[in-house]
Amino acid sequence: MPTAHANGVEICYETVGDPADPAVLLIHGHGAQLISWDEALVNELVGLGLRVIVFDNRDVGCSTHFDGVAGPDVLAILDGDISSVSYSIEDMADDAAGLLAALEIDDAHVVGISMGGMIAQSFTIRHARRVVTLTSVMSTPDPLRVGTARPEVIERWFEPAPTTKDEVVAAAMESWRATGSVELGLDEAWIHDVTARQYDRSFDPMGTARQFGAIIGSPDRRPGLAGVTAPTLVVHGAIDPIVTVEGGYATAEAVPGSELIVIDKMGHDLPRAVWPQLLEAFAAHAGL
């Protein structure tokens, strides 16, 4: 896959669709790689008449990894000391903006999920002229204060981390069953396959730890979101335990004129059962 020099790092990316079509930039969440975007969903967006851009955030996949940089001191960050944070959500937003510049794309519909939603929010605040519309999915403007993960989720973060491929796949399956949209249906074959492919492509626990430092060490985006003028759609699952639905409400409340959709029985994932609703809402939002 090609790479682009953006904001001082190399960003691995892929584009799908006609270059003459309006662009949509998809920004994924914590630890997720560009291959975590379901190809069928990407093709649905292409079918709406969009050029889809996906990429690896810094420290995952084939983009720049900050090898040798220590992971964050989580307890210190929670106590207000962010000196161990390697970079911020704002830096990651600048990466995404730099990627558009490198691709000579003036503006795009910007869509982010989870941590990617945080990046998309920051992108819109910092690079307003490049944003046609903003869509923030299962995210929050300030994860330490609103939309904070449920205690049982936080407890699992402190369990011994898996290291082998089989352990990583098993842990992903367990996590998805605990946090995903079980009643709406989990595509377990796809989860198994994409987790294994991500492991083969790049396994870097310290990289995802540094991303986590950015998540919890970045400032509250609500003051910046108050000045957003781009049409904004906020989507959240009603039973999301990783970023609870309060994060969606807070995002929508922060952005003047935004639209909020809360989906019943949806957790912290994008089950195929909700794709028709999401695609219809996004098409209307984007004026397609």
- Average pLDDT of 71-82? 92
- Domain annotation for the chain: domains and CATH numbers: 3-286 (3.40.50.1820)
Cβ count within 10 A of residue 193: 13
Phi, psi of 17 (to 5 degrees): 115, 180
Predicted pLDDT at 156: 87
For the chain, the straight-line distance linking the first and the last C-alpha, in angstroms and rounded, comes to 29
Predicted pLDDT at 157: 84
Q: How many Å apart are CA 180 and CA 239, to the nearest integer?
A: 9
Judge contact between 157 and 261, C-beta under 8 A. no
Predicted pLDDT at 13: 98
- Tens of pLDDT, residue by residue over 105-125, are 999 999 999 999 999 999 999
Predicted pLDDT at 159: 84
Q: How many Å apart are CA 248 and CA 108, to the nearest integer?
A: 22
Please, which pLDDT band fits residue 53 given cuts at 50, 70 and 90? Answer: very high
- Tens of pLDDT, residue by residue over 166-206, are 999 999 999 999 999 999 999 999 999 999 999 999 999 99
- Tens of pLDDT, residue by residue over 26-38, are 999 999 999 999 9
26 strand-pairing partners: 54, 111
How does DSSP classify residue 183? G
Residue 97 in tokens: 């903006």
Q: Is the pLDDT of residue 3 over 90?
A: yes
Q: How many Å apart are CA 12 and CA 61, to the nearest integer?
A: 8
- Average pLDDT of 58-64? 98
Predicted pLDDT at 259: 98
- Tens of pLDDT, residue by residue over 233-284, are 999 999 999 999 999 999 999 999 999 999 999 999 999 999 999 999 999 9
pTM over 0.85: yes
Locus of tokens 């996949």: 61
Please, which pLDDT band fits residue 161 given cuts at 50, 70 and 90? Answer: confident
Phi, psi of 54 (to 5 degrees): -120, 155
Mean pLDDT, the chain, as a whole number? 97
Please, which pLDDT band fits residue 127 given cuts at 50, 70 and 90? Answer: very high
Q: How many Å apart are CA 282 and CA 45, to the nearest integer?
A: 9
Predicted pLDDT at 158: 82
Kind of pairing between the strands at 232-237 and 131-137:
parallel
- Residue 118 amino acid letter: M
Q: How many Å apart are CA 161 and CA 165, to the nearest integer?
A: 12
How does DSSP classify residue 243? S
CA-based nearest residue to 22, from 115, 106, 91? 106
227 or 157, which is more confident: 227
Residue 159 burial (CB < 10 Å; 0-12/13-18/19+)?
Answer: exposed
- Average pLDDT of 4-25? 98
Percent residues over pLDDT 90 in the chain: 95
DSSP secondary structure letters along 139-187: --S-TTTSSPPPHHHHHHHTSPPP-SHHHHHHHHHHHHHHHS-GGG---
Predicted pLDDT at 97: 98
